[in-house]
Amino acid sequence: MANAASVVWQGSVPAETGQIIVQSGLGGDASRTLFGLATVTTGDNSTATVTINFIDGTKTLPFTPSSVWVFRVGGAGTNTITVLAVESITNKEAVARCSANLNAASFIFGIILVK
pLDDT, tens digit, for every residue of 39-83? 999 999 999 999 999 999 999 998 899 999 999 999 999 999 999
For 3-114, give the CATH class: mainly beta
- For the entire predicted model, the pTM comes to 0.85
Measure the CA–CA gap between 110 and 44, rounded to whole angstroms: 20
Query: Domain-by-domain residue ranges, the chain?
Result: 3-114
**72-111, pLDDT tens digit by residue?**
999 999 999 999 999 999 999 999 999 999 999 999 999 9
- Sequence letter at residue 79: N
What 3-state DSSP class applies to 10? coil
Residue with the larger pLDDT of the pair 5 and 20: 5
* pLDDT of 1 strictly over 60: no
